[in-house]
A and B are shown apart, each in its own frame.
Chain A
Amino acid sequence: MPGDLKEGRIVVVGASLTGLRAAEKLREEGFTGSLTIVGDEPHPPYDRPPLSKQVLFGEVPANATALPMRRDPEAEWRLGVRATGLDTVGKRVLLADGEPVPYDRVLIATGTRARPWPNAQEAALDGVLTLRTCDDAALLAERLAAGPRRVLVIGGGFTGSEIASACRERGLDVTVAERGPAPLVGALGGTLAKLAAAMHRNHGVDLRCEVTVTALRGHGHFTGAELSDGSRVDADVCVVAMGAVRNVEWLAESGLAAGPRGIACDAGCRAFNMYGIVTDDVFVAGDVSRFPHPLFDYQLLSLEHWHNAVEQAEVAAHNMIHPEPLRRPHLAVPAFWSSQFGLNIKSVGVPTFSDHVVIAQGSLEARRLAVVYGYRGRVTAAVTVDMAKSLEYYQDLIETAAQFPPVAGASDRPPAAEVPIPSDVPDPSVLYHGPTVALTGHLPDRRLAMMRPAV
């Protein structure tokens, strides 16, 4: 009875990009029931990518990145209210502040938060910051504008690299401490990590690789950090850019397959419970989800990507209001971008799902290239640096499981295109932060469901 699914009560937990786009899609596809959107931040949905770029350059205020609506979702917004639990039997979302909200179907889109510095006392020093929310960005931008002597960035992933780039843009001295052999190595592998390291150094970043930060120092105010190689970095600001933590703690009692890697769901965005049985009324989308993808051996992917948030939100919304035969799978090829040190880095597919790469166009020396990633003889990913127009071609190769190395397709194909080299993707456990796209495994020795005892 499709008519019934377009009525009733839907609650969306999470009021960021995923929550907003899902809500719009529900209305667009004819949902006429009541729609409630719960978000723990007090702000209406806003766009996060500018927070590590324009906002840190001082060009755009942190509170100016509100997302435009595609249409008014005619929702009741409960902003600044944290969800504390999901009662899947009584079908209610429990809130920190206020009566539980009953639902017929619920969408979980609670995303991630910045991984905090593990030592709480050191993390509490004035000047030790993270970057995830617009409030974080406002504070960091203010500190950068005050002209610190030096900024220490812990972690050379995308966020850490973009912060370092913004510091140099503002003429500030910056040190990046990266546990791996080079920045971005966890996401892009060895070849492009070499380019990333060169970009940091050419732009005057004091880049320290294969070191860990062992202690943050200061009395009230942060004054510097100790590194594992015995050196010390004196700085006024420390940005902890050690990746993200999925917001799943509130689901500990829910009986869902929720764990540190996210909430497992099927390709139609329906959540699994902890026994691996798919639920009927609980849907998941965005950074907090992990879902099987046929292009990547049906392993569960977890992505921290803007593009995935939008695509998956739309599939989830469609499926929430359509009966089973009309439901759609979420099959979008992963895609992300980063801009740093004046370079535009774009990726499609899953670069970490690779054994070899070729430089298919351009060169590292030119700082303009397309790197194609292969796994067991087929193309699984491509990354371009200042070559965005080429990316669509490689996406087509990924979608059609084309052979790797790819056959000649570009007129500016260098000799390197014939020479596959190891993709050199390190074990994520040796890095500060995982890649922003991770295959979370389907082997029996890896646990998909994680039961947590009540505290």
Chain B
Amino acid sequence: MQIVVDLARCQGYAQCVFLAPQAFELHGEEALLCHPAVPDEQRERVRQAAAACPVQAILLGEAVSRGAR
């Protein structure tokens, strides 16, 4: 599973950072950085983080598979 954050929409509420600290972190006061590739054992926490985003800026999904034709 992969993460992408719409940072034009993100307002730095940081709910994701509290819920899934291994996937999301703040750089400084409000610049959000994420680890886009989610290990299996973190999926549930990351799903909760995405659901809790007040501005719904987090998208989760599968990548296009490598070698796609």
Binding site for B on A (CB under 8 A): 20, 43-45, 47, 49-50, 53-54, 59-61, 64-70, 76-79, 305-307, 310, 335-337, 339, 341-344, 346, 368, 386, 388-389, 391-392
A386 and B30 form a contact (CB under 8 A):
yes
B69 and A76 form a contact (CB under 8 A):
yes
B2 and A66 form a contact (CB under 8 A):
yes
- B61's closest neighbor in chain A, by CB? A68
Tell me the minimal C-beta distance from A170 to chain B in angstroms: 14
Shortest beta-carbon contacts, A-B, top 8: A68-B61, A342-B28, A339-B31, A66-B63, A44-B64, A344-B31, A77-B68, A307-B8
Binding site for A on B (CB under 8 A): 1-4, 6-8, 10-12, 27-37, 59-66, 68-69
- What are 17 contact pairs spanning A and B, CB under 8 A? A20-B64, A44-B64, A47-B4, A59-B33, A64-B35, A64-B37, A68-B2, A68-B61, A68-B63, A69-B63, A69-B64, A76-B69, A342-B29, A346-B8, A386-B28, A389-B11, A389-B12
Q: Which residues of B contact A59 (CB under 8 A)?
A: 33, 35
With A60-B36, A388-B11, A389-B12 already in contact, the answer to whether A68 and B4 are too (CB < 8 A) is yes
In addition to A59-B35, A69-B63, A389-B12, 9 A-B residue pairs with Cβ atoms within 8 Å of each other are A44-B65, A44-B66, A64-B37, A65-B2, A77-B64, A342-B29, A344-B30, A386-B29, A392-B11
Tell me the minimal C-beta distance from B21 to chain A in angstroms: 13
Q: Which residues of B contact A310 (CB under 8 A)?
A: 6
B30 and A306 form a contact (CB under 8 A):
no
Q: Which residues of A contact B60 (CB under 8 A)?
A: 68
Tell me the minimal C-beta distance from B54 to chain A in angstroms: 10
Q: Which residues of B contact A49 (CB under 8 A)?
A: 7
- B63's closest neighbor in chain A, by CB? A66
B36 and A66 form a contact (CB under 8 A):
yes
**Which of B30, B33, B59, B60 has most A Cβ within 10 Å?**
B30
The B interface, classified by DSSP as helix, strand, loop or mixed, is loop
Q: Which residues of B contact A44 (CB under 8 A)?
A: 63-66, 68
A67 and B28 form a contact (CB under 8 A):
no
- Which residue of the partner chain, among A47, A79, A344, contacts B12 with CB atoms under 8 Å? A344
- Which residue of the partner chain, among A47, A76, A307, A341, contacts B36 with CB atoms under 8 Å? A47
Measured in the bound complex, the distance between the Cα atoms of B35 and A449 in whole Å is 42
Tell me the minimal C-beta distance from A344 to chain B in angstroms: 4
- A332's closest neighbor in chain B, by CB? B8
Measured in the bound complex, the distance between the Cα atoms of B67 and A308 in whole Å is 28
A45 and B33 form a contact (CB under 8 A):
no
Measured in the bound complex, the distance between the Cα atoms of B63 and A343 in whole Å is 30
Tell me the minimal C-beta distance from B60 to chain A in angstroms: 6
Q: Which residues of A contact B59 (CB under 8 A)?
A: 68, 70
Q: Which residues of A contact B35 (CB under 8 A)?
A: 54, 59-60, 64
Measured in the bound complex, the distance between the Cα atoms of B1 and A24 in whole Å is 17
Measured in the bound complex, the distance between the Cα atoms of B63 and A79 in whole Å is 14
- A50's closest neighbor in chain B, by CB? B36
Measured in the bound complex, the distance between the Cα atoms of B12 and A343 in whole Å is 12
Measured in the bound complex, the distance between the Cα atoms of B4 and A294 in whole Å is 30
With A53-B33, A64-B36, A388-B11 already in contact, the answer to whether A69 and B61 are too (CB < 8 A) is yes
With A50-B36, A68-B1, A388-B10 already in contact, the answer to whether A339 and B62 are too (CB < 8 A) is no
With A66-B63, A69-B62, A342-B28 already in contact, the answer to whether A337 and B36 are too (CB < 8 A) is no
B8 and A336 form a contact (CB under 8 A):
yes
A339 and B27 form a contact (CB under 8 A):
yes
Q: Which residues of A contact B8 (CB under 8 A)?
A: 305-307, 335-337, 346
Measured in the bound complex, the distance between the Cα atoms of B29 and A70 in whole Å is 30
Q: Which residues of B contact A344 (CB under 8 A)?
A: 12, 28-32
Measured in the bound complex, the distance between the Cα atoms of B8 and A228 in whole Å is 38
Q: Which residues of B contact A307 (CB under 8 A)?
A: 6, 8
- A392's closest neighbor in chain B, by CB? B11
**Which of B12, B36, B37, B64 has most A Cβ within 10 Å?**
B64
With A343-B31, A386-B30 already in contact, the answer to whether A306 and B64 are too (CB < 8 A) is no
- A334's closest neighbor in chain B, by CB? B8
Measured in the bound complex, the distance between the Cα atoms of B30 and A77 in whole Å is 37
Q: Which residues of B contact A306 (CB under 8 A)?
A: 6-8
Measured in the bound complex, the distance between the Cα atoms of B12 and A389 in whole Å is 8
- A75's closest neighbor in chain B, by CB? B68
Q: Which residues of B contact A386 (CB under 8 A)?
A: 28-30
A67 and B63 form a contact (CB under 8 A):
yes
Q: Which residues of A contact B69 (CB under 8 A)?
A: 76-78
Q: Which residues of B contact A20 (CB under 8 A)?
A: 64
- A335's closest neighbor in chain B, by CB? B8
Q: Which residues of A contact B61 (CB under 8 A)?
A: 68-70
